[in-house]
Structure 1
Amino acid sequence: MLLEGKIVLVTGVLTPSSIAFTCARLAQEQGATVVLTSFGRALSVTQRAARRLPTPPEVLELDVTDPEHLAALPEHLAERYGRVDGVVHAVGFAPAVCLGQEDGLFAAEWADVATAIQVSAFSLPALAKALKPLMRPRSAIVGLDFDASVAWPAYDWMGVAKAALESAARYLARDLGASDIRVNLVAAGPLKTVAARSIPGFSQIQEVWAERAPLGWDVEDPEPAARAVVALLSDWFPATTGEIVHVDGGVHAIGAAIRPPAPEPEPEPEPA
């Protein structure tokens, strides 16, 4: 019961295949009261997914780009729950022109890039600012990341947005440390979520893991990443902040493919 008695807000649940859905399920199993957020046309989809959790949670409407939504969120949470102990930031979006185009970074205009960065990176400090008055000492914010230290096939401007997210998390860790609020990221390997299916060339990224993960990697299983999120939300990492925890089967540490050697061909039988 790592999260017993804690109030945890989880963004980004769309379907049961979402990493955030597994985060919410494990948080409940570890004793937390979970609140979900969604907005617009996705709201009803999130509400259906919420009914598949062990305890169907409340689903609040939150567009992280809408200042009015951000202002209303802490008011509702304060009235209903009194505080927030943990936040899971699992929000990311880029217009299609920002991903997997033949011209790479040159395909998108600033308006498209601005959307990707606002939703995928700026939303982290925006959400932290909104919820900080409700967060007590030893609270935690954990964001979902995809390793932005290198360039990936097709990831393009979303990779740039993830790099901004990583930097924002470090600065938030600096700014919230005095309030004893931790900020960390979990960099998961590729998983077959709704978001991943929208990335042209996702299979190329997936192939890297098939070749390089020393522990292996299951693109269908979000639980390893979700377990890391829950651990970082708990009190078991009281002095860890500004960190990126890689849950990727070890790919981030391996510089070249580690394909097993091809089996030796069986010798031709000698003629009688």
Structure 2
Amino acid sequence: MAGLLEGKRLLITGVITDSSIAFHAARVAQEQGATVVLTGFGRMSLVERIAARLPHTPPVIELDVTSTEQLDGLADRVSEHLDGLDGVLHSIAYAPPSCLGEDFLAAPWEDVATAVQVSAYSLKALAVACLPLMSTGGSIVGLDFDARMAWPAYNWMGVAKSALESTTRYLARELGPKGIRVNLVAAGPLGTMAAKSIPGFDMLRDSWADRAPLGWDTADATPVARSVCALLSDWLPATTGSMVWVDGGVHALGM
């Protein structure tokens, strides 16, 4: 029986450790028949070691989404491994420490600008960089954390996520005529390295399972990974500019 992503060629960004949502998305994608290329940033030897834990060890390309040079060369570097792309996972976010914590008013513009560039503008930058490889259409999926409300300590990352959500809608408008869908998966809190760096994450994580109608396991990224792969597949051909919540149902409830 063919997998959901049989024959699909995917670029997956943001693998840092084997707890990363991107790692589990890559795992499920491979299990469903996709061929995967990963990107990493910074500690490339670590990313390569983590990549080797996947069912099939994929190539790893270095990508700094703030580097015009690396973005301009991305299509050529991916082309060394794949003859095109059917899907892209954007799993990239960062905010300097001043942007997270208790004092929303203290963050300087320079730090806020970094958060917005890396966490929101990079979705557009990555999409443009991959366009030469998506001549037959495809799917771009980003990872979100519901930005409709002001979460404790999330601060400017929450603002950046709001920008990410808006960017998704505008990209959906621009890329739809090219046959490219652009959507987000809004995940509940998981025990990733990125999440653990957020002040107050423990309080958010510990209360989530009690509030979620379906329950919530912060140690299990598979439900999120499966939803990402569903959006990367051909099974949602008329869905774009949308956000799929994978949070056990917490988003639907009052506080």
The residue number in structure 2 matching 1:5 is: 7
Partners of 1:138 and 1:235 within 8 A in 2? no
The residue number in structure 2 matching 1:160 is: 159
Q: CA deviation at 1:77?
A: 1.9
- RMSD of the TM alignment (CA)? 1.0
2-structure distance, mates of 1:211, 1:156:
24
**3-state DSSP of counterpart to 2:136:** strand
For residues 95-244 of structure 1, what are the structure 2 equivalents within 5 Å? 95-101=96-102, 103=103, 105-244=104-243
Quote the sequence identity (%): 64
In the TM superposition, what whole-angstrom CA distance separates every residue of 1:14-35 from its partner, at most 9, and x where no partner exists?
1100000000000101111100
The residue number in structure 2 matching 1:67 is: 68
2-structure distance, mates of 1:153, 1:99:
9
**3-state DSSP of counterpart to 2:38:** strand
Partners of 1:185 and 1:245 within 8 A in 2? yes
Partners of 2:37 and 2:78 within 8 A in 1? no
Q: CA deviation at 1:76?
A: 1.8
1-structure distance, mates of 2:224, 2:80:
32
**3-state DSSP of counterpart to 1:2:** coil
Q: CA deviation at 1:217?
A: 0.4
1-structure distance, mates of 2:224, 2:81:
29
**3-state DSSP of counterpart to 1:236:** coil
Q: What letter is aligned with 2:158?
A: G
Equivalent pairs counted in the alignment come to 253
The residue number in structure 1 matching 2:20 is: 18
Q: CA deviation at 1:210?
A: 2.9
**3-state DSSP of counterpart to 1:185:** strand
Partners of 1:64 and 1:70 within 8 A in 2? yes
Task: Decide which moves more: 18-27 or 203-212.
Answer: 203-212
Partners of 1:9 and 1:84 within 8 A in 2? yes
1-structure distance, mates of 2:17, 2:244:
24
Q: CA deviation at 1:79?
A: 4.1
Q: CA deviation at 1:208?
A: 3.8
Partners of 1:99 and 1:158 within 8 A in 2? yes
**3-state DSSP of counterpart to 1:70:** helix
Q: CA deviation at 1:113?
A: 0.4
1-structure distance, mates of 2:137, 2:251:
29
Q: What letter is aligned with 1:75?
A: D
2-structure distance, mates of 1:136, 1:28:
23
The residue number in structure 1 matching 2:77 is: 76
Q: What letter is aligned with 1:39?
A: F
Q: CA deviation at 1:209?
A: 1.2
In the TM superposition, what whole-angstrom CA distance separates every residue of 1:84-124 from its partner, at most 9, and x where no partner exists?
110000000001111013x2x21210000001000000000
2-structure distance, mates of 1:80, 1:52:
19
2-structure distance, mates of 1:209, 1:118:
29
1-structure distance, mates of 2:156, 2:186:
17
The residue number in structure 1 matching 2:33 is: 31
Question: What is the TM-score when the length of structure 2 is the normalising length?
Answer: 0.97
Where in structure 1 are there 5+ consecutive unaligned residues? 257-272
**3-state DSSP of counterpart to 1:80:** coil
2-structure distance, mates of 1:220, 1:245:
20
Question: What is the TM-score when the length of structure 1 is the normalising length?
Answer: 0.91
Q: What letter is aligned with 1:202?
A: F
1-structure distance, mates of 2:184, 2:243:
5
Q: CA deviation at 1:133?
A: 1.5
Q: CA deviation at 1:80?
A: 3.2
Q: CA deviation at 1:43?
A: 1.2
Partners of 1:153 and 1:204 within 8 A in 2? no
Where in structure 2 are there 5+ consecutive unaligned residues? none
